[in-house]
């Protein structure tokens, strides 16, 4: 990935629904994939590729400052199952902030936007799977009210995954 040049001005952060197949966005997704592949074996990576992110049940957002893509996130609408007491939920996916842009609460803002989308759909639960070796992600989710829960939606209990849920306001 080419070196990210961060805007030096105080331009506001814009988080909007965008297509994941834009070159600057796929560069971020590729960086995330490389990071995950370095941490976990292939069977423990539950990655939605760009084609899956284009599905109608997925909303993908990009965080930009002065037009520069700094972070991503997605939410996928999921039907309830036995492991969620048959309540539908929004599954948070593809959360990533470029290393040079970290420490600015961008991931927290992306997460808040995704949660707002889930609530706007009339759904009360946000859930996600992340990895045990991603300390920053674990802190982010716990700091934002997510609590650990058992596996859901067919994810295996593989020892590498950590599962979270958050009850959202009506």
| Tens-digit pLDDT profile for residues 14-64 | 999 999 999 999 999 999 999 999 999 988 899 999 999 999 999 999 999
Q: Which pLDDT value is given to residue 42?
A: 86
84 in a structural domain: yes
Q: What is the pTM of this model?
A: 0.92
pLDDT digits (tens, 9 = 90+) for 81-100: 999 989 999 999 999 999 99
Residue at 4 is within a domain: no
Q: What is the CATH number of the domain that holds 132?
A: 3.40.630.30
**Which residues are within 8 A (CB) of 49 and not within 5 positions of it... i.e. 6 or more apart?**
none
Q: Has residue 80 been placed in a domain? A: yes
Q: Look at residue 1 and tell me if it is in a domain.
A: no
The predicted model gives 73-82 an average pLDDT of 95
**Has residue 94 been placed in a domain?**
yes
- Distance (Å, whole) CA 92 – CA 82: 19
| Residue 2, in any domain of the structure | no
Q: Which of 41, 43, 107 is nearest to 74 (CA)?
A: 107
Q: Are 108 and 71 in contact (CB under 8 A)?
A: no
- pLDDT tens per residue, range 95-116: 999 999 999 999 999 999 999 9
Cα 154–chain centre separation: 18
> Per the structure, how many domains does the chain have?
1
Largest CA distance in the chain: 49
pLDDT at 148 over 70: yes
Q: Is residue 140 part of a domain?
A: yes
8, part of any domain: no
Q: Name the average pLDDT for the chain.
A: 94
pLDDT band at 4 (very low <50, low <70, confident <90, very high): low
Coil/strand/helix, residue 111: helix
Site of tokens 């941490």? 39
- What is the domain range of residue 90? 13-167
């Amino acid at each position: 990935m080419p070196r990210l040049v961060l805007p030096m001005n105080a331009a506001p952060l814009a988080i909007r629904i965008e297509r994941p197949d834009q070159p600057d966005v796929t560069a971020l997704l590729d960086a995330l994939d490389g990071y995950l592949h370095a941490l976990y074996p292939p069977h423990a990576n539950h990655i939605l590729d760009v084609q899956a992110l284009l599905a109608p049940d997925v909303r993908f957002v990009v965080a930009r400052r002065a037009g520069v893509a700094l972070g991503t996130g997605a939410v996928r609408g999921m039907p309830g199952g036995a492991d969620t007491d048959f309540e539908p939920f929004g599954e948070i996916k593809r959360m990533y902030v470029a290393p040079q842009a970290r420490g600015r609460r961008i991931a927290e803002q992306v997460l808040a936007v995704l949660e707002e989308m889930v609530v706007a759909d009339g759904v009360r639960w946000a859930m996600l799977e992340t990895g045990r070796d991603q300390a920053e992600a674990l802190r982010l989710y716990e700091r934002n009210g997510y609590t650990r829960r058992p596996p859901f939606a067919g994810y295996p209990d593989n020892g590498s995954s950590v599962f979270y849920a958050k009850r959202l306001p009506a």
